[in-house]
A and B are shown apart, each in its own frame.
Chain A
């Protein structure tokens, strides 16, 4: 400003004026020099002077305008030289050289300011992670275009690095999640740079492996849990059964002991029965002999009775003849009259005797007949006895034979019962072994269940895709099983392939 105020001095002003006056005189002399007369020359000189004055006035104005423009140029360039590219020259007269200069300066400042702002904004944006902003070389000139393009290459590099960094940060986050047992996230490799895509694939593979492992663990845990539960329940059944069996066996054992002793007793009894049977045989033989004797005695009695009968017949004939004699005597006595009276009495007496003899003989006869009847009955009885004894002997023989068989059978039974008893004792021991094995198995089942519980809890605590779709096959070979099949055998059966 100070400089321009000194420049704006009278000296320079007059200098400029003189310059224009001399210039107009020269023009007058060149155009109107020697070819015209003085009066005309005076007129022309006057016109020339007026013209010169007008030019001078215009010149003064032009100088004023130029001076203002130059002042602006000075101010604007001075500020620009100090790093402030903001100001421009305005109200420019394009037709002057100063005006042209002003526009050039404005254009230069535009180039510089637009370039630097574009650069500043691009850098700001990329610093904020907005990697899509680039420099716009369009409208810039020369070196500025070159610089812009070079800067854009650098921005591209930075953007790539930022993108990679963002991808790597994402990967780190996912790995961090893996550490916290969350395997649900997968790295999206869309737009990822080739040199880190391998890393991303590796992490994804790791995630998949971890997922598979967790699912496998969960699956196995659930299967183990299922198995342990079944085992525990089965062990419980076995345990109960074994205990019941042990009780039953004990009862069986005691029953067997009783049976064994009974069989022994039976054996002894059969021996006794044999002895008794032998005794009975002897008695029967004796009885038979006695019966035979009795039969013979009865025969003898019959003979004696016949003899008695003969004797009685003789007595009876005597009685009859005596009676007739007495009757004859009575007749004779009656003929003899009185002399015969006494005799008649005797004859009567004799007749009485004869009658009494006949009565006696009849009584004896009837007694003897009765005796004979009894003797015959006795014989018959003796004969029956003989037959009876013979039957008895035969029955006893059969009985003895049966007793013998029973004895042998009893012996055999005894041996077998002893073997059964030994088996029962062995069975009892084994049952007790089973009980203790069942108890140990139960402990193992409980432990297995605990382990399974821990595995399942652990597996469930992990965040894994497909966790809720893990099913357990309920049978060893379960064709209805629709979970994640891991066994080839099931698939083969399902697809009717040879095992």
Chain B
């Protein structure tokens, strides 16, 4: 897929409460499947998505440490939860509460990942925005160590695990 630079705008699209976005990737992050809600939200056709790296919809406001953490977690065979701001084809954005789980073959090897994205809790987004802003700021030099350290200290100070924090922010939805 040609890398056309998308200029982000402030147009937000809200994911429906009764909908979820489903997508699957291989172990390298190449999209192998996406559902119709995905296409609707990201404003891409199936042809534009399947076979393309998932970072197509990565928004510049997202700290890279979040994806680093996500990869570390799912590669170790655990599920990942996170609040993610995604980029639409037209530059708009949409927030999701994402849950990524590894897919296994018959021999228990990880062959890909399935990710479900649900409507995030609005309060959770308000909480997470300043944190992400801080992390992005720390990553400006290109080094993830500072933002990673900040995130770990934040969790330590609040005496929660990453999972606990994210799940409790989302609440029962």
A interface residue numbers (CB < 8 A to B): 86, 88, 90-92, 103, 106-107, 110, 113-114, 117-118, 121, 130, 132-134, 136, 138-141, 152
Contacts and interface: CB of A to CB of B under 8 A. Distances in A.
B167 A107 contact: no
B167 A139 contact: no
B99 A136 contact: yes
A139 B35 CA distance: 12
A253 B118 CA distance: 113
Interface stretch (B4-12, B17-25, B56-64, B131-139): B17-25
B101 interface: yes
Nearest to A140: B20
A103 B99 contact: no
B150 interface: no
Nearest to B164: A132
B161 to A, nearest CB: 8
B135 to A, nearest CB: 23
A456 to B, nearest CB: 41
A387 B158 CA distance: 133
A88 B164 contact: no
Interface in B24-70: 24, 32-33, 35-36, 46-47, 50
Contacts of A88: 24, 32-33
Contacts of B116: 114, 117-118, 136, 139
B153 to A, nearest CB: 22
B50 A113 contact: no
A132 B18 contact: no
| Chain B facing A: main interface SS | mixed
A117 B114 contact: yes
21 contacts: A88-B32, A90-B33, A90-B50, A91-B46, A91-B50, A92-B46, A106-B35, A107-B35, A113-B114, A114-B22, A114-B114, A117-B116, A118-B99, A118-B116, A121-B79, A130-B164, A132-B164, A132-B167, A133-B167, A136-B116, A139-B118
Contacts of A91: 46-47, 50
B101 A121 contact: yes
A110 B164 contact: no
Interface of B: 17-20, 22, 24, 32-33, 35-36, 46-47, 50, 79, 99, 101, 103, 114, 116, 118-119, 163-164, 167-168, 172-173
A24 B111 CA distance: 49
Contact of A139 (B20, B36, B103, B172): B20
Nearest to B105: A86
Contacts of B167: 132-134
A141 B22 CA distance: 14
B118 A130 contact: no
B20 A134 contact: no
B99 A110 contact: no
B78 to A, nearest CB: 9
Given A103-B36, A134-B172, A138-B17, A86 B103 contact: yes
A138 B20 contact: yes
A91 B32 CA distance: 10
Nearest to A113: B114
Contacts of A139: 18-20, 116, 118
Contacts of A132: 163-164, 167-168
Contacts of B35: 106-107, 110
Contacts of B172: 134, 152
Contacts of B163: 130, 132-133
Contacts of A152: 172
A120 to B, nearest CB: 8
Contacts of A134: 167, 172
A88, A107, A139, A152 — most chain B CB neighbours (10 Å): A139
A140 B32 CA distance: 22
